Every structure is written in structure tokens, then in C-alpha cells.
């Protein structure tokens, strides 16, 4: 199969909107089509101590979907224990993150040339890295298109449209967006989807139902695949 070398930054409208599940499902789809895959979660706050060092569950899920022989530290080069805003976690641990270093770590994986490489952000678009930089600056530094995961719940229209506006203003291409139903009882879901479709100038890559009742992360990833249109990202 011809190498296609697609790279995308996975952003979210907020924290806990399902970025990792969506990213893993896209990578799993690519693997099932015989494509090579790689992923990076440059910054992860919320890790546990292991004999091998700090480990983050989201980063480990991404690593499991990579066909390239990557080490954990390549997938998640900057890790913090506390599940809080990364720049605050860094301050607590006496560290200072810099976007140029995050770009360097991430570019090292991108340069390995997987057919599909996904870079997952943390929280929303403007999450601070330090006193003057944000994770948006990482996406800008990498200069790759963005896939936006919209957490479908009350208030999501405003969050989604403001994020789309910021991505565009930052000079990046919005390749597509995913509606992920984080609130299983959201009122007027269809009307909200219609509004977003009408106002977001990029294709909807999928409408993912609430999968919290699915037993395990791997099962959720498998179920999630059936609702996503990876082909729209491989053109």
C-alpha cells in the first residue's frame, strides 16, 4: 500500500470530551486498513508512579494503537503526577515547559513517517504551557491540520464555535470535527448537531454515542470505530 503520511492535531472543546478515545479509534481504523500508525501526547497531567517511571493511562492507550516501535517516553515526553492544568502541575514540580521543546519531541515521532500520526493536546485549545505560551502554539509550531472533538452537552455550541474561531485565527486548517455524546441525556441533540454542521466550515467525521456503559477502554475504542469516517482524513 502506498504511504500517505497524514498528521493531525487532536484538540477538544474542553477537558474530558473523549479526545483519547477518538484518537485511538482513528488509529485502530488505520491499523485495520494496513496503515502504519504513531501517536504523541506531548503533555500528560495525571500520572501514576510505576517501576518504569510516570505513566498516564491516555498515553498508554495511544501507545497500544501505534504500529511503530515507540517507547512510552516518545509518546508522552512530559508527564506530571497531579491531574490538574499542566502549567500548574509544572510549577508545583519546579519545572517550566517550553513549546519549542514540545515541538522537538513531537517532531521526532512525526519524522518516523507513519501513515497516520496523531498528536493529542490536553484540555481545550488555549491550555497554558507557561506564562506566555499555550498548547495552541504547539499545533502552530507543528503546522498540522486540526481535528476537533466536540463534547456534546449543554453549552457545547459556544465552546465549539469559539474553538473553531481560534483555530482559524491561529492560521491552522480545521480538517474535521467529531460530535462525542458525553452527556447521554442531552436535550435536543439533533438540533445541536444541525447547528454545528451549519456553522463549522469542516466535515463532521462522526457522531459517537455515549459509550460509558461499555466495559473497558479497548471495547470502547472498538465500538467507537464504527461511528467515525477515517476516509475523510486520508484523502
Q: Is there a contact between 44 and 76 (Cβ–Cβ < 8 Å)?
A: yes
Look at residue 215 in the predicted model and tell me its pLDDT. 83
- Give me the mean pLDDT over the 38-45 stretch: 97
Share of the chain above pLDDT 70, in %: 99
CB 149 within 8 A of CB 38: no
Please, which pLDDT band fits residue 212 given cuts at 50, 70 and 90? confident
Q: What is the mean pLDDT of residues 118-127?
A: 96
User: Residue 123 carries which DSSP code?
Assistant: S
pLDDT > 60? residue 2 = no
**Residue range 48-88, pLDDT digits in tens:** 999 999 999 999 999 999 999 999 999 999 999 999 999 99
Query: Mean pLDDT lowest for which of 19-28, 128-137, 163-172, 206-215?
Result: 206-215
Could you tell me the pLDDT band of residue 213, with boundaries at 50, 70 and 90? confident
C-alpha cell read off for 196:
454545528
pLDDT at residue number 64: 97
**Mean pLDDT of the chain, nearest integer:** 96
List strands edge to edge, sheet with 6-12.
37-40, 116-120, 6-12, 146-151, 174-180, 204-208
Share of residues in the chain with pLDDT > 90 (%)? 95
pLDDT of 172 higher than 70: yes
Residue 177: strand pairing partners = 148, 204
**Active-site residue numbers?**
41
Q: 15: how many CB neighbours lie within 10 A of its CB?
A: 14
Q: What's the rounded Cα separation, in Å, for the pair 104 and 154?
A: 37
- Predicted confidence at residue 90, as pLDDT, reads 95
Task: Determine the pLDDT at residue 3.
Answer: 67
Q: Name all domains of the chain by residue range, CATH numbers in brackets.
A: 6-233 (3.40.50.300)
Amino acid at each position: 500500500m502506498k504511504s500517505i503520511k497524514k498528521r493531525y492535531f487532536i484538540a477538544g472543546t474542553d477537558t474530558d470530551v473523549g479526545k483519547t478515545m477518538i484518537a485511538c479509534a482513528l488509529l485502530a481504523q488505520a491499523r485495520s486498513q494496513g496503515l502504519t500508525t504513531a501517536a504523541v501526547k506531548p503533555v500528560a497531567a495525571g500520572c501514576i508512579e510505576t517501576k518504569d517511571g510516570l505513566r498516564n493511562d491516555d498515553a498508554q492507550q495511544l501507545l497500544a494503537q501505534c504500529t511503530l516501535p515507540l517507547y512510552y517516553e516518545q509518546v508522552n515526553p512530559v508527564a506530571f503526577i497531579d491531574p490538574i492544568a499542566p502549567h500548574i502541575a509544572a510549577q508545583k514540580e519546579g519545572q517550566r515547559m517550553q513549546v519549542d521543546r514540545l515541538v522537538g519531541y513531537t517532531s521526532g515521532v512525526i519524522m518516523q513517517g507513519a501513515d497516520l500520526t496523531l498528536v493529542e493536546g490536553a484540555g481545550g485549545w488555549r491550555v497554558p504551557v507557561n506564562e506566555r505560551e499555550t498548547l495552541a502554539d504547539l499545533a502552530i509550531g507543528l503546522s498540522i491540520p486540526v481535528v476537533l472533538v466536540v463534547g456534546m452537552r449543554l453549552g457545547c455550541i459556544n465552546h465549539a464555535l469559539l474553538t473553531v474561531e481560534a483555530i482559524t485565527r491561529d492560521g491552522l486548517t480545521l480538517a474535521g470535527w467529531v460530535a462525542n455524546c458525553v452527556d447521554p441525556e442531552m436535550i435536543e441533540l439533533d438540533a445541536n448537531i444541525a447547528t454545528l454542521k451549519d456553522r463549522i466550515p469542516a466535515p463532521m467525521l462522526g457522531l459517537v454515542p455515549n459509550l460509558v456503559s461499555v466495559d473497558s477502554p479497548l471495547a470502547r475504542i472498538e465500538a467507537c470505530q464504527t461511528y467515525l469516517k477515517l476516509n475523510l482524513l486520508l484523502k
